């Protein structure tokens, strides 16, 4: 499980930790990609989260987070909102498939990022770079 290479000292100082849980991942039509687990143990409880994304292709994606306290069972929290929905290669401030979304997950030990192609006719290539204020 990754903590994006941060040390306990960095996490305790409130540093911003950055990593790419989804890197140039091809997601087929109606496909789903789930990242490896991200260990939040060294992070500030309920810190700040932001996801920079790049989408290419003609599909549409939804981005969610899944949480776990035991590192085995991952669930979408009952009160969770999707990180992003209906995102395409023309989403983002510049309409170029590049954007930034902030989100506030519930407190948990582990997190995964799930990207689902929802257009069901064509796929996408998705990259997501996650920043966490430790």
Q: pLDDT by residue (tens digit) across 53-109?
A: 999 999 999 999 999 999 999 999 999 999 999 999 999 999 999 999 999 999 999
Q: Given this model, what pLDDT does residue 1 score?
A: 43
Is residue 104 a contact partner of residue 31, using CB atoms and an 8 Å limit? no
Domains in the chain, please, with CATH?
A: 8-133 (2.60.120.660)
pLDDT tens, position by position, 14-36: 677 888 899 999 999 999 999 99
pTM for this one? Answer: 0.88
User: How would residue 44 be classed by pLDDT, with cut points 50, 70 and 90?
Assistant: low
Distance CA 48, CA 16 (A): 9
């Amino acid at each position: 499980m990754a903590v994006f290479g941060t040390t306990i000292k960095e996490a305790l100082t409130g540093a911003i930790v950055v990593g790419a849980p989804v890197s140039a991942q091809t997601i087929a039509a109606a496909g789903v990609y789930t990242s490896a687990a991200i260990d939040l143990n060294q992070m500030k409880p309920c810190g700040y989260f932001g996801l920079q994304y790049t989408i290419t292709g003609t599909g549409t994606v939804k981005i969610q987070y899944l949480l776990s306290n035991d590192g085995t069972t991952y669930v979408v929290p009952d009160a969770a909102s999707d990180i992003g929905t209906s995102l395409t290669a023309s989403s983002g401030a510049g309409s170029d498939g590049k954007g930034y979304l902030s989100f506030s997950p519930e407190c948990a030990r582990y997190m995964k990022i799930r990207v689902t192609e929802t257009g069901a006719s064509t796929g996408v290539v998705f990259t997501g770079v996650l920043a966490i204020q430790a």
